[in-house]
A and B are shown apart, each in its own frame.
Chain A
Amino acid sequence: MRINLDINGEIRELDVEPRTSLLDCLRDHVGLTGAHTGCEHGVCGACTVLFDGVAVRSCLMFAPQAEGSKITTIEGVTPGPGEMSVIQDAFCETHGMQCGYCTPAMVLVAHALLIDNPNPSRDDIVDAISGNICRCTGYAQIIDAIALAAERLRGANRPVELTK
């Protein structure tokens, strides 16, 4: 079926089978491969995207259901080619990753968290990422990264706009 999806601010006209998950649609039909396939049953969180600004599992939604909403992927929060956001840079600074497979999802979850809560406690961060499994890091440096990003965003000379 033909659908129109608003992905990273751009309307995409797509022809998909209804059974195509939003994840598969993004990866296979739109060519945005930053959302990753981990479990396809909604537990690991590797497929996280922002859906109207909120972190959701793109494997738990069929592509046609996403019509009418704003979808933001990791590609959409990356400022430009080779250019990192404050959050992405913080992940690099603390080495909040190893294999990089869960990383785009973690960055998006951090993004969604910091929009709502610019001054998160450690517990807030732990809770925010608890739906995203990382098998490499034991989470410590991811937590550090999000705390560092929050600190930097708070300390910026001008407010850095995190857009939904």
Chain B
Amino acid sequence: MKAAPFEYSRPADIDEACAMLAADENARLIAGGQTLVPMMAMRLARPTRLVDINRIAGLSYIRQDGDAIAIGATTRQCDLERSATIARDIPLMAKAIPWIGHAATRARGTIGGSLVNADPAAEQALIAVTLDAVLNYREDKKTIEIAAGEFFVGAMVTSLPSTACLTGLKIPVWHGDRIGTGFHEVNARRSDFAFVSSAVQVQLDADGTCKRIAIGAGAATDFPMRLTSAEQQLVGSKLDAAKVKDVVTEALADIEALDDLHATAAYRKRVAVSMACRAVADARASALGEKLHAH
């Protein structure tokens, strides 16, 4: 399991990286490499040139940017995990990060790498879709924005042009009181890829009525999806369990769930409902300041 030969480059800036991609259609970017390197070791990926963007200045950051938190593409998962900004402003992401791989892979893995890899089970993609993140990438010396919901187009497939480089993303911060989050996922071993996952963020009125809600379902389908119809039906409700279950079930009724060695499509489809219901319940409880039971 040795990678096929390749040339190695370490561009000084992002435009140089893009130029290297443009010059060689088999060139690939490497950031954390936690997915790409094993693919290369198995020779399932065989770039002729590896463009290492790890040390490009200014690609790793977590900062406030207007009403959003901006995160640089090469920001490592462990930095997100430890970030007080993320914990305060994007608590849903803070909940999801520990579910990504292991500490040792989070130490290298980057958020940008995970997004462009677009694994159906990836937690960061789910968070990006759930929270309406806007991704930005650089191509041809221009910076282009794309909504997370339009970025993912298939299992391991994104709409990112092949000569572009993802530079970062912005996640809008929800402001106000009584905001709660819930994240659930199920897998065989605690650190495996999720069979099914769900991320939910909710804001309640003073009387506990749902003012705003975002429900994301991950790993069940080719790429993370928002349960928009359920969200619409739940705004204005008290998020009682029966209603949540009904609308979530309806929203997931027609999905084409993935089927593989680890979980059947029937399992994914069914448990996606449970995960979403639990995530909504957790989000509601945390918005109300109730203590959650551990999962």
Contact = CB atoms under 8 A, between A and B. Distances in A.
Interface of A: 1, 17-19, 21, 24, 40-42, 45, 48, 51, 54-57, 59-62, 64-65, 68, 109, 127-128, 130-132
Return the 9 tightest CB-CB contacts between A and B, nearest first.
A131-B102, A18-B8, A41-B38, A40-B1, A19-B3, A54-B107, A60-B37, A131-B104, A55-B104
B8 A64 contact: yes
Contacts of B107: 51, 54-56
A90 B78 CA distance: 28
Contacts of B50: 18, 62
11 contacts: A17-B5, A42-B105, A48-B104, A55-B104, A60-B108, A62-B8, A64-B8, A65-B30, A68-B55, A131-B102, A131-B104
B4 interface: yes
Interface in B32-54: 33-34, 37-38, 40-42, 50, 52, 54
Contact of A57 (B2, B40, B104): B104
A115 to B, nearest CB: 13
Contacts of B2: 19, 21, 24
A130 B78 contact: no
The range of chain B's interface size is 20 to 34
Contacts of B40: 19
Given A55-B107, A131-B191, A65 B6 contact: no
Pick from A24, A62, A64, A130 the residue with the most CB of B within 10 Å: A62
A109 B6 CA distance: 31
B101 interface: yes
B129 to A, nearest CB: 25
B262 interface: no
Interface in B53-71: 54-55
